[in-house]
Amino acid sequence: MCSGADFWHLKGVERLGIPSVMVTDGPHGLRKQAEAADHLGINESEKAVCFPAGCATASSFDRNILKKLGETIGQECQAMGISTILGPAINIKRSPLCGRNFEYYSEDPYAASELAASMIQGVQSKNVGTSVKHFLANNQEKRRMTSSSDVDERTLREIYLTAFEGAVKEGKPWTVMNSYNRINGKYVGESKEYLTDILRNEWGFDGCAVSDWGAVNDRVESLKAGLDLEMPSSGGMNDALIVEAVKDGTLDESVVDTACERIIDIIFRYAENRDPDAKLDLREDHETAAAIEEECIVLLKNDDNILPLSKEKKVAFIGKYAESPRYQGGGSSHINSWKVESALEAVKEIAEALLAEAVKTAQEADAAVIFAGLPDNFESEGYDRKHLNMPDCQNTLIEKVAEVQKNVIVVLHNGSPVLMPWKDKVKGIVEAYLGGQAVGRAVVNILYGNVNPSGRLPETFPARLEDTPCYLTYGKGGDHAVYQEGVFVGYRYYTSVDREVLFPFGYGLSYTEFTYSGLKLDKEKMTDQDTLTVTVKVKNTGGRRGKEVVQLYVSPFTGETIRPAVELRGFDKIELEPGEEKEVSFTLDKRAFAYWKEEIHDWYVESGEYQIRIGKNAQDMVLCVPVQVQGTREIPKVYSLNSCLGPLMRDPKAQAVMGAFMGNMSQNTEADEVQKQQELQAENPDAAVSSEMMTAMMEDMPLRQLISFVPGVTREMLQQLIDALNAQKK
* Residues at the site binding ligand BGC, with contacts judged by CB under 6 A: 25-26, 39, 86, 133, 212-213, 332
For residue 329, the Cα-to-chain-centroid distance in whole angstroms is 19
CA atoms within 13 A on the CB side of 405: 32
Scanning 276-319, the segments in alpha helix (DSSP H) are 282-296
Max distance between CA atoms of the chain, in angstroms, equals 99
Element (DSSP H or E) covering residue 348: helix 343-360
Q: Which is nearer to ligand BGC, 40 or 660 (CB)?
A: 40
- For the four alpha carbons of 124, 129, 135 and 141, in that order, the dihedral sign comes to negative
Amino acid 83 reads: S
User: Please, what is the minimum distance in Å from the beta carbon of residue 214 to ligand BGC?
Assistant: 7
- Phi/psi for 315 (5° steps) reads -120, 130
Is 607:558 a contact under the CB 8 Å cutoff? no
Is 110:62 a contact under the CB 8 Å cutoff? no
| DSSP output for 393-434 | HHHHHHHHHHHH-S-EEEEEE-SS----TTGGG-SEEEE--S
Q: What's the CA gap between 606 and 528, in Å, rounded? A: 9
User: Please, what is the minimum distance in Å from the beta carbon of residue 332 to ligand BGC?
Assistant: 4
User: Please, what is the minimum distance in Å from the beta carbon of residue 149 to ligand BGC?
Assistant: 15
Amino acid 246 reads: V
Q: Which is nearer to ligand BGC, 158 or 212 (CB)?
A: 212
Residue nearest ligand BGC, Cβ-based: 39
For residue 68, the Cα-to-chain-centroid distance in whole angstroms is 20
Structural Rg of the chain based on CA atoms? 29
Q: Which is nearer to ligand BGC, 87 or 615 (CB)?
A: 87
Residues ≥6 apart with Cβ < 8 Å to 170: 113, 114, 117, 121
User: Please, what is the minimum distance in Å from the beta carbon of residue 335 to ligand BGC?
Assistant: 12
Is 168:116 a contact under the CB 8 Å cutoff? no
**Strand 298-302 relative to strand 428-431, pairing:** antiparallel
Residues designated as active site: 212
CA atoms within 13 A on the CB side of 15: 0
Q: What's the CA gap between 255 and 577, in Å, rounded? A: 58
User: Please, what is the minimum distance in Å from the beta carbon of residue 142 to ligand BGC?
Assistant: 14
- For the four alpha carbons of 234, 240, 243 and 247, in that order, the dihedral sign comes to negative
- Phi/psi for 574 (5° steps) reads -130, 155
| DSSP output for 669-730 | -HHHHHHHHHHHHHH-TT-SS-HHHHHHHHHT-BGGGHHHHSTT--HHHHHHHHHHHHHHH-
Element (DSSP H or E) covering residue 79: helix 63-80
User: Please, what is the minimum distance in Å from the beta carbon of residue 194 to ligand BGC?
Assistant: 17
C-alpha distances (whole Å) from 501 to each of 399, 519, 709 are: 21, 27, 51
Residues ≥6 apart with Cβ < 8 Å to 310: none
For residue 508, the Cα-to-chain-centroid distance in whole angstroms is 18
| DSSP output for 582-646 | EEEEEEE-GGGT-EEETTTTEEE--SEEEEEEEEEETTEEEEEEEEEEE----------TT-BHH
Q: Which is nearer to ligand BGC, 60 or 179 (CB)?
A: 179
DSSP lists the bridge partners of residue 584 as 536
Residues ≥6 apart with Cβ < 8 Å to 336: 31, 44, 45, 46, 47, 48
| DSSP output for 229-245 | BBSS--TTHHHHHHHHH
**Strand 525-527 relative to strand 620-630, pairing:** parallel
Residues ≥6 apart with Cβ < 8 Å to 186: 148
